[in-house]
A = this chain, B = another copy of it.
Amino acid sequence: MITLGDLYNVLSALVPLYFVIFLAYAAVRWWKLFTAEQCAGINRFVAMFAVPLLNFEFISRIDLSKMDLPFISADTLSKILVLVALFAWARMSPKGSLEWCITLFSLCTLPNTLLMGIPLLKAMYGDEQESLMTQVVVLQGMIWYTMLIFLYEYRAASNAIAQRFRESSVKSVCSEARNVGKEEAAHVVIACNSEDLGAQMGACSRDEDNKKAEKKLGYGEVGAAKKYVEKSTMPSGTIGFILRMVWYKLMKNPNFYASVGGLCWALASSRWNIKKPMIMENSVTILSNCALGVAMFSLGNFMALQPKFIACGNKMAAYGMFIRFIVGPAIMALASLVVGIGGKELKVSIIQAALPQAVVPFVFAREYDVHPEELSTVVMFGMIVSLPVTILYYVFLEL
C-alpha cells in the first residue's frame, strides 16, 4: 500500500532535483554566470568522473551469487529485444540511423531505478524490492551504460572515417548522384557532413541544413541519399578498423574501468570476504556524491542554452514520453512473460520499466552530442508526469 508518507518521501527526492535544475537554468539564462563552453565542461566532469565513480561504488558492492536470475533475465531480454528491433529498423528503413537507435534504446529501456525505483517500489511492494532494484541499477551501470558508450564511440569513429573517405571523393560522388537524380540531396548531405567533427556550432548548422533539405525533399529522400552517399564512399572492410578505434577510445574512458574494476572488486570481496578500506571508500564517495546534483545542474544549464523551453519540440517530447511510459513497459511485460515471471514480480518488472527516464543517458548524450535535447526534455518532464503514471500502473495492475 502506498501511504501519504511514502509519497512525501518520493517528493523529498524529486523536488530537490527541480530546485537544482532551476538554479542551473537561472544561472545561465538570467544571471549569465556560465558560458556554453563552461556548461559543456561541467557536463564532462559528470560524464568522466562523477558517474564512473558512482557506478564503481554500486557495482563493487553487488553479490553475484544473490542475483534474482529470472528477473535479471527478463530485464536483459527486454533490452536485447529492443536493440535487435532498432538495428533491424536502422538497416531496413531509409529513416533509420544509428543516432536514433541509441536515443530510442535509452528512452525505451533505461529508467531512473536508483532514485525513483527504490523508494517507489519499496512503498508499493515491500522492502524486499530494494535488493531487486539494486541489481537492476548495477546491471544498468555495468553492462548497458558501457554498451551505450560503445555505440556512441562507434558512431563517432564511423562518422570520422566516413568523413575522411567522403572528402576525398566528393566530386565523383556528386557526379554519380547526378546520374541517379539525387544530386541536390547528395550535395546537402555532403556539405553538412563535412562539418561533422568537433564543434557544437557545426552540429547546429548541420541540423538546420538537414532540416532544410528534409523540407525540400521529404525525410525519406534525404535518408536514402545519405545511405547512397555512405555506400558510395565507405569501402567495405573498414569495420575492423572502426572497431579498433572504438576499442582504443573505450580504453581511455573511465566508465569502462569503473565497470571492469567494480566487477573485479565485487568478485574478490565476495570470494575472500574483504571490505574496502576507508581511504578507498572515501576516495570514491568524495566525487560519486556529486554525480546526481551536478548531473541535474548540467541538465538545467543545457535547457537554458536551448532556444525553446521544450528543446526538442512538443511532438518529439510526446513521442519520447510515449516510448518511455508505454512502449518500454509493454516490451518489459512481454520479456517477463517469455521468461516465465508472474505474480508480484511481473508487476514489479512492469512498474520498474515505467519509471521516469534515467539521468545518466542524458549526460552521455550531451557529451557525445546525440539528441541531448530529446533526452533532456524527457528527463525533465518525465519526472513530473511519472508519479501519476506510476500510480496509475500500480492501481491498474492491482485490479
> Of the candidates B9, B15, B41, which one forms a contact with A41 in the assembled complex, judged by CB atoms under 8 Å apart?
B41
From A11, which residue of chain B is reached at the shortest CB distance? B279
Given that A37-B35, A290-B293, A293-B287 are contacting pairs, would A282 and B42 also be in contact in the complex, using a CB cutoff of 8 Å?
no
Please tell me if A267 contacts chain B, counting CB pairs below 8 Å.
Answer: no
How many residues of A are counted as interface, with CB atoms below 8 angstroms from the partner's CB atoms?
41
A276-299 interface with B by 8 A CB criterion: 278-279, 282-283, 285-287, 289-290, 292-294, 296-297
Encoded as 1 (CB less than 8 Å from any B CB) or 0, chain A from 293 to 319 comes to 110110000000000000000000000
Taking a contact as CB atoms under 8 Å apart, the answer to whether B282 and A290 are in contact is no
Given contacts A40-B38, A41-B35, A290-B289, contact A27 B48 (CB under 8 A): yes
8 contacts between A and B (CB under 8 A): A13-B282, A15-B283, A16-B285, A19-B283, A37-B41, A38-B38, A286-B292, A290-B294
Shortest beta-carbon contacts, A-B, top 6: A38-B41, A290-B290, A16-B283, A16-B282, A12-B278, A19-B283
> Chain A interface secondary structure, helix, strand, loop or mixed?
helix
Kindly list chain B residues whose C-beta atoms are within 8 Å of the C-beta of A88.
none
A16 touches B290 (CB 8 A): no
Number of copies: 2
Asked if residues B293 and A16 are in contact (CB atoms below 8 Å), the reply is: no
A189-209 CB contacts (< 8 Å) to partner B: none
The answer to whether A322 has its CB under 8 Å from any CB of chain B is no
**B-contacting residues, A245-297, CB 8 Å:** 252, 278-279, 282-283, 285-287, 289-290, 292-294, 296-297
Check if A16 sits within 8 Å of B286, measured CB to CB. Answer: yes
Q: Contact partner of A49 among B12, B23, B279, CB < 8 A?
A: B23
Q: Is the C-beta of A17 less than 8 angstroms from some C-beta in chain B?
A: yes
Q: Which residue of B lies closest to A12 (CB)?
A: B278
A300 → chain B, closest Cβ, in Å? 11
Which of chain B's residues has its CB closest to A24's CB?
Answer: B49
Do the beta carbons of A41 and B39 come within 8 Å of each other?
Answer: yes
A119 → chain B closest CB, angstroms = 12
Distance of A189 from chain B, by nearest CB (Å): 31
B279 touches A289 (CB 8 A): no
- Alpha-carbon distance between A372 and B79 when the two chains are bound, in angstroms: 49
Q: Does A105 belong to the interface (CB within 8 Å)? A: no
Q: Does A34 contact B (CB under 8 A)?
A: yes
Q: How far is the CB of A192 from chain B (nearest CB, A)?
A: 26
Known: A20-B286, A287-B297. 16 other contacts (CB 8 A): A12-B278, A13-B282, A15-B279, A15-B282, A16-B279, A27-B49, A34-B44, A35-B37, A38-B44, A39-B41, A41-B42, A45-B294, A45-B297, A289-B290, A289-B293, A290-B290
